Chain A
Amino acid sequence: MRYYARKLGFYLVALWAALTLNFFIPRMMPGNPVDTLLAKLQQRGGSVGPDVREAYALMLGTDTGEPLWDQYFSYLANMLRGDLGVSVSVFPEEVTTVIAQSLPWTIVLVGIATFLSFLVGVVLGMVVGWKRGTWLDSLIPATTVLSAVPYFWLALIFVMFFSTSLAWFPLNGGYDVSLSTGWTWEFISSAIYHGFLPALTIVVSSVGGWLLGMRNMMVSTMSEDYILTARAKGLRNNRIMTRYAARNAVLPSVAGFAISLGFVVSGSIITEQVFSYPGIGGKLLQAVENSDYALMQGIFLVITVAVLAANLVVDLLYGFIDPRTRVEN
């Protein structure tokens, strides 16, 4: 019990530290929301007289003149109440609305892509590790090269090749905008169709890591005595590979997978940008470009909580699976 209490305590402290950083780091960036907004209006033909600045500062509530410390404490209090504030870049929408609108897109897209990438990587890694020394080994440099290729570059190449030249897939967006959103088959199929290429980018560029890790664990597991015993018993090769070697070799990858699930919510900013995908990554970029502190804090909070939660789950599971981690010195 004390083990779990200590873990929980640690996560509370980590959460507080993350919240504090979320508050201060955005405010250390140069610029402020009103001047950024004005500059944007000026570049786009707005007739921006000298009186506009004052009006917008009043409207966005950015000139409260409150000391930073007071802002910090009211921020903490608001966070406890679940009040994330009002976004400046899409004023007057609530931050929670903005996040609620874009988070599902990212979770579905990046979530499925991460899952597929894990599945493909682990299965391939298992086979490649089992048949080491054969031609299959060439898969490893091939996939690691793909994951070393810059993300955005791969995405751009895919767009150029599959969307612009071959026109197999749509150029951008999360769904066909002439459809209305809802749980209709037409809309869902359009969403899947639009999500295919971004998901492919993520899978192709991340599968190499899983493959490599799984393959190496397979190789070391195969030299264990119980594999030798299994062979000696005359079990089928397939059975030894899946039930004996792979089940033990996959453990570290599963832990890694749980953690990478936590990062799903942070999305793939660049992929979303290239495909104009309506996810959380684009929102984060928008928040940074507009000095939208409230939105930035909100998104960072969601990311932090997701990562911490994923870690907590892994931690608790490990304590459960492996009693050694629970022993105190």
Chain B
Amino acid sequence: MSMHARWRRIRTASIGVVSVGLLATACGGGSDNGGSSADSDTLIVYTGLAGDWPRVFNPYLPTVSEGPGTIFEPLFFYNIARQDDPAPRLGTEYAWNDDGTELSITLREGVEWSDGEPFTADDVAFTLNMLLENEALNTQNFQGEPTVVDDTHLTVSFEEPAYMKAPDLLGKTWIVPEHIWGELEDPGTDQIPEPVGTGPFTLQEFSPQAFTLAANENYWDGAPELPEVRYVALSGNQAGADALAAGEIDFQTGPVPDMANFEANHEGYKDVTVHAFQMVLDTCSNAELGCTGPQTDPAVRQAIYYAMDREQLNTLAFQNTADEMSPGFALPERDAGYVSADLENQTVPMNADIARAQEILEGAGWTMGGDGIYEKDGERLSMTVRVVTGWTDYITAVNTLSEQLKEAGIELTPQPASNNETMDARGRGDFQLQIDSQYPGPTPDPYYVYNNFFNSDNTVPVGETANPNFARYSNPAVDDAIAELNQINPADTEQRQPYYDIIQAEIERDMPYIPIMLGGNTSQFNSAKFTGWPTDVNLYAYPAVWQRPDQAEIYRSLEPTGE
């Protein structure tokens, strides 16, 4: 009997559990549809990050959830989308002395931290000294010496001309409050869960699935019109595209299906595409540093350059979002003033020129083999090209490319591998060709691409990790020109141009990175709910949700329409 009673109790209990579940489902179903909030003024963004948000608001950590630009401000804003002068933020003016070894900065008056403390030059000096003392935080390799003149003036002195360091120093150094950060045990491992900054927004609410920034009522430029920004967590691009289609997010940067008809398919949404990333084939080009394979011959690289049909690549692989690039690696539109007149091609040829490619190969001693592929000294003109599995646009591009090059007698074998493995191989030089993309510098100036990718200071022999001159390119003429550019005030464009001409001519001839096209970054945004978005004709900031501090410039310009 007792046993029966127990059974009955368990049965009753489980019925109870099930009905509670059903009830809850019914309630949930009635009250809410789709998980988006009712607040029509909140901007909901997805940054493309896969997974939950860590509570990291330390702007100096690579895992920071948010903060640079929105909560913590730089001294100036550098727009990499077009040739603007640096816009004053916490700083109002800056000037170099004659030889570029001393930078004087004037700071904005009357700025307060979000906890009410006044902002002064001491905070700036503290931030810079913190970088000097913590090597792990000093990603820009700042080596100057800050001196506070008074509350709104300070100078930074350098041992060598440091003109080219300014954009990182002025535009990417997030000023932190001394009265809080001075107490931290180790700023390099502190998550800063409750950030205090001077920026237009403050952290309001946090959970790993979403956090909300609220307009800073005491912002020096007045509180932004946009009251709240909510960052949501999704599992990746696919989930992002789904949520966008369902109208659950207002702003994201990333690929969506059927890009050409995006605005027709998503009512109230618009998209904008910008071009700053240069797609290239990295080549392990330098036999002296241990590279092997036909691509160490410049003629082969030139032949690939002429044999590819970029128009077809753009259509088949990039949904026509890519744009023409220059073989001198200055962006044709943004950096029009820098593109050298001495270049053989101002921009890359968009269609294949097989005859030209074959002429170059034959001029370098390659002969057509029986199987339709060139050969030289018994070596076939056959190379592997590395590509990341799952990056469908690059995979399509590489497959199309291998078809195109076969016409010219060049054999390409795609070599797909995981992102980790491919990037690891790129660093160690364990590749012949690799499809890749070169990132722009901190300011609209091709100098940074030249220094990063073409300066022999930034490369090492095959087997060690190069960073980031992956092609192992080493050319004294280019190195010297970069060294000269370091000594010249960037405002003096006339004096700089001859060096740009040298670099561009050298890299067009050597072609350690074979130019493909400018990659397009497409962002989608809800223009019915908010106005003030950047457009093709008014690129006041780089319109990508993950680009910091540009995202803060966009949030500051947005106004809810109230719909």
* Docked pose: A276 CA to B248 CA in angstroms: 14
Stretch of B109-117, B136-144, B326-334 at the chain-chain interface? B136-144
B179-219: CB near A (< 8 Å → 1, else 0) gives 00000000011110000000000000101111000000000
Q: A50-B458, A193-B25 are in contact. Are A171 and B233 (CB under 8 A)?
A: no
Q: A30-B421, A45-B439 are in contact. Are A172 and B25 (CB under 8 A)?
A: no
B496-513: CB near A (< 8 Å → 1, else 0) gives 000000000000000000
Q: Verify if B442 is at the interface (C-beta below 8 Å from A).
A: yes
B391-426: CB near A (< 8 Å → 1, else 0) gives 000000000000000000000000001111101111
Q: Verify if A313 is at the interface (C-beta below 8 Å from B).
A: no
Cβ contacts under 8 Å, B448 to chain A: 47, 49
A21-53: CB near B (< 8 Å → 1, else 0) gives 000000001111001111101111111111111
Q: Verify if B100 is at the interface (C-beta below 8 Å from A).
A: no
Closest B residue to A43 by CB, please name it. B437
Stretch of B235-243, B287-295, B310-318, B360-368 at the chain-chain interface? B235-243
* Docked pose: A90 CA to B234 CA in angstroms: 16
Q: Verify if A74 is at the interface (C-beta below 8 Å from B).
A: no
B242 close to A178 (CB less than 8 A): no
Cβ contacts under 8 Å, B230 to chain A: 177-178
Q: How far is the CB of B59 from chain A (nearest CB, A)?
A: 12
B50 close to A282 (CB less than 8 A): yes
* Docked pose: A52 CA to B139 CA in angstroms: 4
A35 close to B424 (CB less than 8 A): yes
* Docked pose: A115 CA to B65 CA in angstroms: 36
Q: A45-B546, A90-B56 are in contact. Are A177 and B25 (CB under 8 A)?
A: no
Number of interface residues of B (CB under 8 A): 83
Q: A36-B419, A59-B188, A196-B25 are in contact. Are A172 and B139 (CB under 8 A)?
A: no
From A55, A177, A283, B207 is in contact (CB under 8 Å) with: A177
Q: Verify if B465 is at the interface (C-beta below 8 Å from A).
A: yes
Q: How far is the CB of B529 from chain A (nearest CB, A)?
A: 16
From B33, B190, B420, B441, A30 is in contact (CB under 8 Å) with: B420
Cβ contacts under 8 Å, A35 to chain B: 420, 423-424, 427, 465
Cβ contacts under 8 Å, A151 to chain B: none
Q: How far is the CB of B39 from chain A (nearest CB, A)?
A: 7
Q: A51-B140, A52-B139 are in contact. Are A168 and B21 (CB under 8 A)?
A: no
Q: Verify if B54 is at the interface (C-beta below 8 Å from A).
A: yes
Interface residues of A in 236-282 (CB under 8 A from B): 272-276, 278, 282
Closest B residue to A274 by CB, please name it. B235
Stretch of A138-146, A184-192, A214-222 at the chain-chain interface? A184-192
Cβ contacts under 8 Å, B246 to chain A: 163-164, 171
Q: Verify if B351 is at the interface (C-beta below 8 Å from A).
A: no
Cβ contacts under 8 Å, A48 to chain B: 439, 452, 468
Q: Verify if A83 is at the interface (C-beta below 8 Å from B).
A: no
Cβ contacts under 8 Å, A273 to chain B: 235-236
Cβ contacts under 8 Å, A180 to chain B: 205, 207
Q: A37-B62, A58-B136, A177-B232 are in contact. Are A49 and B245 (CB under 8 A)?
A: no
Q: How far is the CB of A33 from chain B (nearest CB, A)?
A: 9
Cβ contacts under 8 Å, B389 to chain A: none
Cβ contacts under 8 Å, A52 to chain B: 139
Inter-chain CB contacts under 8 Å: number: 216
Cβ contacts under 8 Å, A285 to chain B: 50-51
* Docked pose: A173 CA to B208 CA in angstroms: 11
* Docked pose: A177 CA to B42 CA in angstroms: 13
From A176, A181, A289, B35 is in contact (CB under 8 Å) with: A176
A31 close to B424 (CB less than 8 A): yes
Closest B residue to A159 by CB, please name it. B242
B28 close to A178 (CB less than 8 A): no
Best-buried of A44, A93, A278 by chain B (most CB within 10 Å): A44
Cβ contacts under 8 Å, B425 to chain A: 30
Best-buried of A50, A275, A291 by chain B (most CB within 10 Å): A50
From B235, B420, B457, A29 is in contact (CB under 8 Å) with: B420
Q: How far is the CB of A282 from chain B (nearest CB, A)?
A: 5
Best-buried of B172, B246, B423, B442 by chain A (most CB within 10 Å): B423
A174 close to B209 (CB less than 8 A): yes
Tier of interface size on chain A: 35 or more
* Docked pose: A196 CA to B426 CA in angstroms: 44
* Docked pose: A35 CA to B425 CA in angstroms: 10
B56 close to A93 (CB less than 8 A): yes
Cβ contacts under 8 Å, A46 to chain B: 439
* Docked pose: A276 CA to B209 CA in angstroms: 10
B459-474: CB near A (< 8 Å → 1, else 0) gives 0000001011000000
B63 close to A175 (CB less than 8 A): no
Q: Verify if A73 is at the interface (C-beta below 8 Å from B).
A: no
Q: How far is the CB of A117 from chain B (nearest CB, A)?
A: 14
B168 close to A47 (CB less than 8 A): yes
Closest B residue to A193 by CB, please name it. B28
Cβ contacts under 8 Å, A55 to chain B: 135-139, 141
* Docked pose: A189 CA to B62 CA in angstroms: 36
From A42, A45, A98, A102, B542 is in contact (CB under 8 Å) with: A45
Q: Verify if B24 is at the interface (C-beta below 8 Å from A).
A: yes
Q: How far is the CB of B44 from chain A (nearest CB, A)?
A: 9
Interface residues of B in 413-455 (CB under 8 A from A): 417-421, 423-427, 437, 439-442, 448, 451-452
Q: How far is the CB of B393 from chain A (nearest CB, A)?
A: 12
Cβ contacts under 8 Å, A96 to chain B: none
* Docked pose: A55 CA to B437 CA in angstroms: 23
* Docked pose: A35 CA to B467 CA in angstroms: 9
Q: How far is the CB of A269 from chain B (nearest CB, A)?
A: 11
Closest A residue to B28 by CB, please name it. A193
B442 close to A47 (CB less than 8 A): yes
* Docked pose: A52 CA to B468 CA in angstroms: 10
Q: How far is the CB of A133 from chain B (nearest CB, A)?
A: 30
A283 close to B248 (CB less than 8 A): no
Closest A residue to B546 by CB, please name it. A44
Q: A56-B62, A190-B32 are in contact. Are A50 and B457 (CB under 8 A)?
A: yes
Closest B residue to A287 by CB, please name it. B51
Cβ contacts under 8 Å, A178 to chain B: 36-39, 210, 230
A50 close to B467 (CB less than 8 A): yes
* Docked pose: A135 CA to B451 CA in angstroms: 75
Q: A177-B232, A278-B233 are in contact. Are A93 and B547 (CB under 8 A)?
A: no
* Docked pose: A31 CA to B425 CA in angstroms: 8
Cβ contacts under 8 Å, A181 to chain B: 207
* Docked pose: A329 CA to B301 CA in angstroms: 73
Cβ contacts under 8 Å, A47 to chain B: 168, 172, 439-442, 448
Best-buried of A180, A181, A273 by chain B (most CB within 10 Å): A273
Cβ contacts under 8 Å, A91 to chain B: 56, 61-63
Closest A residue to B550 by CB, please name it. A45
* Docked pose: A51 CA to B135 CA in angstroms: 10
* Docked pose: A175 CA to B52 CA in angstroms: 13
Interface residues of A (CB under 8 A from B): 29-32, 35-39, 41-56, 58-59, 89-93, 98, 101-102, 159, 163-164, 167-168, 170-178, 180-181, 188-190, 192-194, 196, 272-276, 278, 282-283, 285-286, 289, 291
23 contacts between A and B (CB under 8 A): A30-B421, A30-B425, A31-B423, A35-B465, A36-B419, A36-B424, A43-B439, A44-B547, A52-B139, A53-B467, A55-B135, A55-B139, A92-B56, A172-B234, A172-B239, A173-B232, A176-B35, A178-B210, A192-B24, A282-B51, A283-B51, A286-B50, A291-B420
Instruction: Name the 10 nearest CB pairs between A and B, nearest first.
Output: A193-B28, A31-B420, A177-B210, A178-B37, A51-B141, A90-B54, A59-B136, A30-B421, A39-B423, A276-B235
Task: Please give 4 more A-B residue pairs, beta carbons under 8 A apart, in addition to A92-B61, A171-B248.
Answer: A46-B439, A47-B172, A59-B188, A177-B209
